[in-house]
Structures are given as structure tokens and as C-alpha cells.
């Protein structure tokens, strides 16, 4: 084998070994509590998602009396390690926005950074940006980056609606993140 080819193969083998040694794959599950309508009595959680733009009245979504094409919500949702916010430990916040971005179905453009303030990923954050077809049982959203202890993260999140109240628009999402760091 020519010497140059041997050198190229040796460098490639070292690069693969170094790359394999510096990356890890991790799975984490948490719950996002999206509260659009706060309790009228004041005894429940405060609103964590606020509609900042209202779509045109003529842009009502089929089968949805509340939302319209173009509605934009700013979010600062708590993340917990369990589905019940009152009995689960806080692990961070999801900050960003979602917009109803389809005229024909309940699909969002979802952009958020999940900032972890407790647990194994404390001091880290991951960002997602994708279409979220909220009526699908499972939605896959790509992780577009990470920061802090999750710097350079790649992967995806699987979102499932754990609970949804059609009257208040409040939801709890189960999020399973599969990350390579």
C-alpha cells in the first residue's frame, strides 16, 4: 500500500477514535406546563403562555373555536420531572414562542430553548425549531443546538400531549430528549 494512503487511513482511524471518545448519547424526560389561561380565582398557576398576536377573524382553524391561523404566543413555561406540577421538582424553563402556522390544521411553528436549572443537565440548554402538529400522538422536533453543559448538542425531542384542556387551552407535554453531546 502506498505510504500516503497508509497515512490517510491512520489519520482517519485516529479521528474516529477521538470522535467516539468525546461524544455521549443521553436520554432525558421532562414535562412542559403550558398555561394559557390562569385560574380565575387566582389559586392556580399564573399564565406562562401569552398570545401576543391574534390572527384575523377570517382565519379561524377548522374545528378550533379558540385559535386562528397567525396566532402567536410567547412562552416561559416551567419544566418539571413529573406530570403534576404541584408535586414534581422543577428542572428548568422553556422560553420561546409558538405560532399557528397552518390554515388547514392545528400545526405550530415552535421555537424554544429548554434551559435546565436542576438535575444532571443543570447549567445546560437545548434549542428546538420545527413544525409541531399538536394533534398527532407523537411529534418529533429536531434539536438545533445546545449551550453550557450541553454545548454542541444534537438530537431530537419526542413530544406527547400528556393532558390538554380545550376550554382553557392549557396543556402538559411529555418531552423525551435524545441528545448527542
Query: pLDDT tens digit string along 63-105?
Result: 888 889 999 999 999 999 999 999 999 999 999 999 999 998 8
- Report yes or no: 163 and 34 within 8 Å, Cβ to Cβ: no
33-69: pLDDT as tens digits? 999 988 766 666 789 999 999 999 888 888 888 889 9
What does pTM read for this prediction? 0.84
Label residue 5 by pLDDT band (50, 70, 90).
very low
* Cell numbers representing residue 97 in the block: 414562542
- Report yes or no: 116 and 59 within 8 Å, Cβ to Cβ: no
pLDDT at 147 over 90: yes
Q: Average pLDDT of the chain?
A: 88
Greatest extent of the chain over all pairs of C-alpha atoms, in Å:
80
Better-predicted residue by pLDDT, 43 or 146 = 146
Amino acid at each position: 500500500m502506498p505510504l500516503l494512503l497508509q497515512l490517510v487511513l491512520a489519520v482517519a482511524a485516529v479521528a474516529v477514535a477521538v470522535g467516539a471518545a468525546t461524544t455521549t448519547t443521553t436520554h432525558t424526560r421532562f414535562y412542559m406546563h403550558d398555561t394559557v389561561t390562569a385560574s380565575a380565582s387566582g389559586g392556580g398557576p399564573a399564565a406562562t403562555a401569552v398570545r401576543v398576536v391574534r390572527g384575523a377573524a377570517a382565519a379561524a382553524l377548522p374545528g378550533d373555536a379558540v385559535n386562528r391561523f397567525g396566532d402567536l404566543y410567547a412562552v416561559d413555561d416551567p419544566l418539571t420531572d413529573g406530570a403534576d406540577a404541584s408535586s414534581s421538582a422543577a428542572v428548568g424553563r422553556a422560553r420561546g414562542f409558538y405560532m399557528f402556522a397552518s390554515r388547514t390544521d392545528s400545526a405550530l411553528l415552535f421555537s424554544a430553548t429548554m434551559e435546565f436549572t436542576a438535575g444532571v443537565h443543570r447549567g445546560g440548554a437545548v434549542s428546538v425549531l420545527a413544525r409541531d402538529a399538536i394533534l398527532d400522538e407523537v411529534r418529533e422536533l429536531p434539536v438545533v443546538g445546545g449551550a453550557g453543559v450541553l454545548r454542541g448538542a444534537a438530537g431530537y425531542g419526542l413530544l406527547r400531549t400528556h393532558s390538554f384542556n380545550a376550554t382553557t387551552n392549557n396543556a402538559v407535554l411529555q418531552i423525551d430528549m435524545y441528545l448527542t453531546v
